[in-house]
Amino acid sequence: MNAPISDREKALMGMGESRLRKEDARFIQGKGNYVDDIKLPEMLHMAIVRSPVAHARILRLNKEEALKVPGVVAVLTAEDLKPLKLHWMPTLAGDVAAVLADGKVHFQMQEVAVVIATDRYAAADGVAAVEVEYEELPVVIDPFEALKPGAPVIREDLAGKTEGAHGKRYHHNHIFTWDAGDKEATDAAFASAPITVKQDMHYPRVHPCPLETCGAVASFDPIRGELTTWITSQAPHVVRTVVSMLSGIPESKVRIISPDIGGGFGNKVGIYPGYVCAIVSSIVLGKPVKWIEDRIENLSSTAFARDYHMTGELAATADGKILALRTNVIADHGAFDACADPTKFPAGMFHIVSGSYDIPSAYCRVDGVYTNKAPGGVAYRCSFRVTEAVYLVERMVDVLAQKLGMDKAEIRSKNFIKREQFPYTSAFGFEYDSGDYQTAMDKVLNAVDYKGLRAEQAIKRADPDCPTLMGIGLVTFTEVVGAGPSKICDILGVGMFDSCEIRVHPTGSAIARMGTISQGQGHQTTYAQIIATELGISSEVIQVEEGDTNTAPYGLGTYGSRSTPVAGAAIAMAARKIHAKAKKIAAHLLEVSEADLEWEIDRFKLRGNDAKFKTMKDIAWAAYNQPPEGLEPGLEAVHYYDPPNFTFPFGAYLCVVDIDKGTGETKIRRFYALDDCGTRINPMIIEGQIHGGLTEGFAVAMGQLLSFDKQGNIQGNTLMDYFLPTAVETPKWETDHTVTPSPHHPLGAKGVAESPHVGSIPTFTSAMVDAFAHLGVTHFNMPHTAYRVWQQLKAVGIAS
């Protein structure tokens, strides 16, 4: 076959093509296979008895009535789990969490008992019949109150422990102090700086709220001693390790399957009591047990995100050059420290807080605190607290600009890490791989006619009859993703590498298995494109499988934008091993030396001779029937990729808002998002990820909030109250890109799906505050609901 090169390249549908998704055929025909779709013979259903109060002792728990309910098979409490030592479990953050309340409940909706029954209706009837008597205790929901001397003791199980997993605890509700940077140098820079600014801000407690809730189907085979569990997990291999450690079942007899996952966004990284109880129930009863959370349970008890009370400070010269950054955070972790961060980083990658700016001195400190709220602190569509960090620094740069009367774009230009400074080591020690922030920002400013917008705003500000306040938000963010180098990043001691196994079949098709798991990111489509380009095999004949620990190589999973930076690199490296072997086979078949061969799209050819070649398909066949002497038959490879560094995607976002002066209602007039994720594998999928991330960012900034009353009652844990935007509220997004490849990634790719969430949230706040900037307002907290904005309008005397 001697088709033109361009046709051959197109036929591969490899990297750079907007290839339509392989996964769609099943989803559009109702044939997805999510956890709740799993149905096994004799399967039982589990439901959870939860605490109606936030802090109480359990005086009495009676399961007799529940056991009389038709269909109820068993009721399990902490007392039943105690002999198995499973009433408490380790968290990913080095703490322990109650699986079922052990004499005391620590937050509303905490798991107290489980009911197992023949169907889900009977299980729910059983839950209603379990009698629990509580003695209420004083509740503390504010982390600052929690740190006061006489505050209620939330974790009696930690009494007398002055040392936690991350060092000293100075108070009974204190979890850890973590800091980074140079405190002395930073303090000195602040002491002598001509200009300093300081701003308190709260990043509210929100929830990732994927449309599919969490759940599991556990099936223990007592004869074989094997446990199979289908689970909504973003990290099935880690779950297998934890389940083996907790249950004592050898890891080789534990099979964890993440089937189709209905969105994750960080909510499905952790290990929840419901999963553990479903597994224990199946082991105890010898039958498959299904547990599926409802939405109220999901919003109330599984991992929330954020809840960071932050103080930011910048020191600068009078003309706006930033000299130092200092930040202090009180982090509300709820009742158990169940964050899912790399072990050594209890505040995740918060030290990316120096952002896109060349700041000589910086220091940050985070104190984790227990409160009577649900545990969590997960990365909601972000790489471990990067969202909080980016919010803080972007807000502070705006605050400084305002203090100096400088334009937001001008102050950013003045402080950017310049293109020629890369690789750049930040004051916190991160080595930024590549970036070109000025080009990105300029492209956005030109696209939206920034000067024109500012002129329009000036006219509107001068007109007292103008019915709206106009605000312009600008953010130039840098993320740190792709965790991460195993010398510094691990989860439960397992390094954060990722893996790929590729097998090329005799007829030239291939299957790849990965340690990651898609929750909508389209891995089946994009991973195949990488292999297609690397190996010259059409992506149409490349199958990609993930999520089954019995077949896939060990990997740390999909979160923190790590699939492309880590697993994507593993794919390239595995493919290159195959490529190298294929070259030997081609040389043998063509009876030439390897040095005389060159690679061209889908074949090795004799250098400069188009007529003498072997395609990868020819080579695959030969690999199985006439390999050169001394070479093993077969054409496959495995690669475990331990990244040498993180990747640092960046972007420049601009938003224009018009706020109704009478009602506080906000119209997002325009949102322009430019992302640079390095090499782009599938532009269609990238754009889809960006739309989704921007929409989640919009939801967080403009309406999401998990709030609590003083008694610790969660306010708004249904979709009636928790804001998920519909197609009507959601703005229309404009997207753009630049391409600055990562020099250390085999493909130059950096990861993209979280940037739009991380970057858009401060952009909305920047725009909202900008609308009030001429009135001396420097900051107000999210969410920017009409009511809260109306309060702001009242505070400045505009609304009455």
Partner 1 sequence: MSKTLVSMTLNGRQVEEAVEPRTLLVHFLREKMNLTGAHIGCETSHCGACTVDIDGQSVKSCTHLAVQCDGSDVKTVEGLANAGLLHAVQEGFYKEHGLQCGFCTPGMLMRAYRFLQDNPTPTEDEVRVGMAGNLCRCTGYQNIVKAVLHAASTLQKNSVAA
The correct pick among 211, 580, 631, 739 for binding partner 1 (CB under 8 A) is 211
Distance between CA 325 and CA 198 in Å, rounded?
10
| Residues 314/349, Cβ–Cβ less than 8 Å | no
Q: How many residues does the chain have?
A: 800
128 binds partner 1 (CB under 8 A): no
SS3 string, 221-238, reads: ECCCCEEEEEECCCCHHH
Q: Which of 19, 155, 205, 234 is catalytic?
A: 234
**Least distance from C-beta 779 to partner 1, angstroms?**
27
727 binds partner 1 (CB under 8 A): yes
Which helix H or strand E contains 251, and what residues bound it? Answer: none
Angstrom CA distances, 750 to 422, 436, 693, stand at: 15, 14, 16
Cβ atoms < 10 Å from Cβ of 270 = 25
- The nearer residue to partner 1, 202 or 691, going by C-beta atoms, is 691
235 to 264: interface string for partner 1, x by CB under 8 A = -------------------------xxxx-
Q: Which of 50, 155, 205, 381 is catalytic?
A: 381
| Residues 656/471, Cβ–Cβ less than 8 Å | yes
Which helix H or strand E contains 266, and what residues bound it? Answer: none
Angstrom CA distances, 183 to 180, 190, 325, 326, stand at: 8, 11, 10, 8
Distance between CA 681 and CA 483 in Å, rounded?
20
Instruction: Give the residues across from 96 on adjacent strands.
Output: 90
684 binds partner 1 (CB under 8 A): yes
Q: With contacts defined by CB under 8 A, name the span among 211-219, 308-316, 575-583, 628-636 that binds partner 1.
A: 211-219
625 binds partner 1 (CB under 8 A): no
**Least distance from C-beta 32 to partner 1, angstroms?**
5
**Least distance from C-beta 294 to partner 1, angstroms?**
5
- The nearer residue to partner 1, 24 or 133, going by C-beta atoms, is 24
Distance between CA 219 and CA 241 in Å, rounded?
17
Distance between CA 48 and CA 109 in Å, rounded?
10
| Residues 734/670, Cβ–Cβ less than 8 Å | yes
Residue 437, token pair as written in the block: 């922030």
- The nearer residue to partner 1, 387 or 521, going by C-beta atoms, is 521
**Least distance from C-beta 33 to partner 1, angstroms?**
8
Instruction: Give the residues across from 163 on adjacent strands.
Output: 168
- The nearer residue to partner 1, 28 or 223, going by C-beta atoms, is 28
The correct pick among 10, 31, 82, 344 for binding partner 1 (CB under 8 A) is 31
352 binds partner 1 (CB under 8 A): no
669 binds partner 1 (CB under 8 A): no
Q: Which of 339, 382, 500, 655 is catalytic?
A: 382
Q: Which of 546, 754, 788, 792 is catalytic?
A: 754
Q: With contacts defined by CB under 8 A, name the span among 144-152, 382-390, 713-721, 770-778 that binds partner 1.
A: 713-721
Q: Is 704 a catalytic residue?
A: no
Q: Is 234 a catalytic residue?
A: yes
User: Cα–chain-centroid distance for residue 576?
Assistant: 29
Distance between CA 436 and CA 738 in Å, rounded?
9
- The nearer residue to partner 1, 162 or 718, going by C-beta atoms, is 718
- The nearer residue to partner 1, 522 or 536, going by C-beta atoms, is 522
Residues from 276 through 305 that contact partner 1 (CB under 8 A): 292, 294-296
720 binds partner 1 (CB under 8 A): yes
Distance between CA 684 and CA 682 in Å, rounded?
6
Residue 336, token pair as written in the block: 């158990």
16 binds partner 1 (CB under 8 A): no
25 binds partner 1 (CB under 8 A): yes
Q: How many residues bind partner 1 (CB under 8 A)?
A: 59
Q: Which residues contact 326 (CB under 8 A, 6 or more apart)?
A: 186, 187, 190, 312, 313, 315, 362, 363, 364
Residue 502, token pair as written in the block: 């590729």
**Can you list the alpha helix ranges (DSSP code H) found in 591-674?**
616-625
692 binds partner 1 (CB under 8 A): yes
Q: Which residues contact 727 (CB under 8 A, 6 or more apart)?
A: none
For residue 551, what is the DSSP state?
T
Q: Is 364 a catalytic residue?
A: no
Q: Is 754 a catalytic residue?
A: yes
Q: With contacts defined by CB under 8 A, name the span among 4-12, 478-486, 503-511, 518-526 that binds partner 1.
A: 518-526
For residue 678, what is the DSSP state?
B
Q: With contacts defined by CB under 8 A, name the span among 177-185, 207-215, 390-398, 643-651 that binds partner 1.
A: 207-215
The correct pick among 23, 407, 456, 545 for binding partner 1 (CB under 8 A) is 23
- The nearer residue to partner 1, 45 or 408, going by C-beta atoms, is 45
- Contact positions vs partner 1 (CB under 8 A): 20-21, 23-32, 34, 36-37, 39, 70, 119-121, 209-213, 260-263, 265, 292, 294-296, 519-522, 684-685, 687-689, 691-696, 718-720, 724, 726-728, 730, 732-733
Catalytic residues: 234, 381-382, 754
